[in-house]
Amino acid sequence: MKKISNRLAASTIKNILSKKKIIVTLKELHFLVNRDLKKHSLNYSISMNRLKNLVLDLEEVEVRTKNRKNAKKRNLKKCPVCNKELKKVFGKNLFGKMIHIGYKCKKCSYNSSLFITQPREYIFIWKNKTK
Protein backbone atom coordinates (compact mmCIF):
# COMPACT_ATOMS: atom_id res chain seq x y z
CA MET A 1 0.00 0.00 0.00
CA LYS A 2 1.08 3.55 -0.70
CA LYS A 3 1.50 5.97 2.22
CA ILE A 4 -0.67 9.06 1.82
CA SER A 5 0.04 12.58 2.98
CA ASN A 6 -1.43 13.84 6.24
CA ARG A 7 -3.00 16.71 4.32
CA LEU A 8 -4.95 14.42 1.99
CA ALA A 9 -5.98 12.17 4.88
CA ALA A 10 -7.11 15.16 7.00
CA SER A 11 -9.15 16.65 4.16
CA THR A 12 -10.78 13.26 3.56
CA ILE A 13 -11.66 12.94 7.25
CA LYS A 14 -13.10 16.47 7.31
CA ASN A 15 -15.12 15.82 4.17
CA ILE A 16 -16.63 12.61 5.54
CA LEU A 17 -17.44 14.04 8.99
CA SER A 18 -18.86 17.29 7.61
CA LYS A 19 -21.41 15.24 5.65
CA LYS A 20 -22.15 12.54 8.23
CA LYS A 21 -21.83 14.81 11.38
CA ILE A 22 -21.34 11.88 13.81
CA ILE A 23 -19.62 8.50 13.52
CA VAL A 24 -19.83 6.16 16.49
CA THR A 25 -16.89 3.80 15.98
CA LEU A 26 -13.28 4.07 14.89
CA LYS A 27 -13.85 1.01 12.71
CA GLU A 28 -16.63 2.74 10.76
CA LEU A 29 -14.57 5.92 10.30
CA HIS A 30 -11.60 3.81 9.15
CA PHE A 31 -13.77 2.03 6.58
CA LEU A 32 -15.25 5.28 5.23
CA VAL A 33 -11.89 7.06 5.01
CA ASN A 34 -10.19 4.15 3.25
CA ARG A 35 -13.12 3.81 0.83
CA ASP A 36 -12.88 7.52 0.01
CA LEU A 37 -9.09 7.34 -0.38
CA LYS A 38 -9.49 4.53 -2.95
CA LYS A 39 -11.23 7.10 -5.19
CA HIS A 40 -7.88 8.96 -5.43
CA SER A 41 -5.79 5.84 -5.94
CA LEU A 42 -6.42 2.12 -5.42
CA ASN A 43 -3.11 1.89 -3.56
CA TYR A 44 -4.00 4.45 -0.87
CA SER A 45 -4.70 3.20 2.64
CA ILE A 46 -4.38 4.45 6.24
CA SER A 47 -4.01 2.48 9.47
CA MET A 48 -6.50 2.85 12.32
CA ASN A 49 -3.83 4.14 14.70
CA ARG A 50 -2.63 6.84 12.27
CA LEU A 51 -6.23 7.79 11.51
CA LYS A 52 -7.05 8.17 15.23
CA ASN A 53 -3.97 10.36 15.78
CA LEU A 54 -4.86 12.58 12.80
CA VAL A 55 -8.44 13.03 14.01
CA LEU A 56 -7.25 14.02 17.49
CA ASP A 57 -5.29 16.90 15.93
CA LEU A 58 -8.26 18.28 13.95
CA GLU A 59 -9.91 21.26 15.63
CA GLU A 60 -13.15 20.71 13.70
CA VAL A 61 -13.70 17.27 15.23
CA GLU A 62 -14.65 16.45 18.82
CA VAL A 63 -13.63 12.99 20.01
CA ARG A 64 -15.50 11.33 22.88
CA THR A 65 -14.89 7.91 24.35
CA LYS A 66 -16.95 5.30 26.12
CA ASN A 67 -14.75 3.49 28.58
CA ARG A 68 -14.40 -0.05 29.85
CA LYS A 69 -14.29 -0.35 33.64
CA ASN A 70 -11.78 -2.45 35.50
CA ALA A 71 -12.16 -3.48 39.15
CA LYS A 72 -8.48 -2.82 39.86
CA LYS A 73 -7.06 0.62 40.56
CA ARG A 74 -4.40 1.73 38.10
CA ASN A 75 -1.87 4.49 38.26
CA LEU A 76 -2.08 5.86 34.73
CA LYS A 77 0.77 7.99 33.40
CA LYS A 78 -0.21 8.34 29.72
CA CYS A 79 -3.61 8.87 28.10
CA PRO A 80 -4.93 5.64 26.52
CA VAL A 81 -6.50 7.70 23.70
CA CYS A 82 -3.77 10.09 22.53
CA ASN A 83 -0.73 8.92 24.55
CA LYS A 84 -0.14 12.35 26.15
CA GLU A 85 0.54 12.90 29.86
CA LEU A 86 -2.50 12.75 32.16
CA LYS A 87 -3.33 15.24 34.90
CA LYS A 88 -4.51 13.87 38.24
CA VAL A 89 -7.93 15.07 39.39
CA PHE A 90 -8.50 15.66 43.10
CA GLY A 91 -11.64 16.08 45.19
CA LYS A 92 -12.46 16.58 48.87
CA ASN A 93 -13.81 13.83 51.08
CA LEU A 94 -16.30 14.38 53.94
CA PHE A 95 -13.51 15.51 56.24
CA GLY A 96 -12.24 18.16 53.79
CA LYS A 97 -9.12 16.17 52.92
CA MET A 98 -7.96 16.27 49.26
CA ILE A 99 -8.01 12.81 47.66
CA HIS A 100 -7.06 11.56 44.22
CA ILE A 101 -10.30 10.68 42.37
CA GLY A 102 -9.30 10.29 38.71
CA TYR A 103 -7.43 11.46 35.62
CA LYS A 104 -7.97 13.98 32.84
CA CYS A 105 -6.15 14.58 29.56
CA LYS A 106 -5.64 18.18 28.44
CA LYS A 107 -5.34 17.32 24.74
CA CYS A 108 -8.26 15.00 23.99
CA SER A 109 -10.34 15.54 27.15
CA TYR A 110 -10.20 11.85 28.16
CA ASN A 111 -11.71 11.73 31.64
CA SER A 112 -11.75 8.77 34.01
CA SER A 113 -12.11 7.66 37.59
CA LEU A 114 -9.38 5.57 39.18
CA PHE A 115 -11.06 2.41 37.91
CA ILE A 116 -11.69 3.26 34.25
CA THR A 117 -8.70 2.20 32.20
CA GLN A 118 -9.36 1.77 28.48
CA PRO A 119 -11.49 3.40 25.80
CA ARG A 120 -14.01 0.88 24.52
CA GLU A 121 -15.58 2.98 21.80
CA TYR A 122 -14.78 6.26 20.05
CA ILE A 123 -17.38 8.81 18.96
CA PHE A 124 -16.37 11.38 16.35
CA ILE A 125 -18.49 14.54 16.16
CA TRP A 126 -18.22 17.27 13.53
CA LYS A 127 -18.23 20.73 15.16
CA ASN A 128 -20.21 23.37 13.25
CA LYS A 129 -17.90 26.30 12.61
CA THR A 130 -20.03 29.40 12.91
CA LYS A 131 -18.24 32.73 13.13
pLDDT by residue (tens digit) across 70-129?
Answer: 666 667 788 888 888 888 889 887 788 898 888 888 888 788 877 756 677 889 999 876
Q: Which amino acid is at 51?
A: L
Residues, the chain, total?
131
**Residue 41 resides in a domain:** yes
**More confidently predicted of 108 and 29:** 29
What was the pLDDT predicted at 22?
92
Q: Does 26 reside within a domain? A: yes
Read off the pLDDT band of 31 (50, 70, 90): very high
Q: pLDDT value at position 131?
A: 45
Residue 47 lies in a domain: yes
- Show the domain range for 43: 2-126
Output the pLDDT for position 27: 92
Tens of pLDDT, residue by residue over 9-22, are 888 999 899 999 99
Overall domain count for the chain: 1
Residue 131 lies in a domain: no
Asked whether residue 29 carries a pLDDT value surpassing 90, the answer given is yes
Model confidence over 36-78: pLDDT tens digits?
988 888 788 888 888 888 898 888 888 888 877 666 666 778 8
Q: Is 11 inside any structural domain?
A: yes
The terminus-to-terminus CA distance of the chain in angstroms comes to 40
CB 2 within 8 A of CB 48: no
The rounded distance, in Å, linking the Cα atoms of 112 and 131 is 32
Q: Is the pLDDT of residue 32 over 90?
A: yes
Predicted confidence at residue 108, as pLDDT, reads: 83
Q: Is 119 among the domain residues?
A: yes
109 in a domain, yes or no? yes
Does residue 33 sit within a domain? yes
Q: Cβ(104)–Cβ(111) under 8 Å?
A: yes
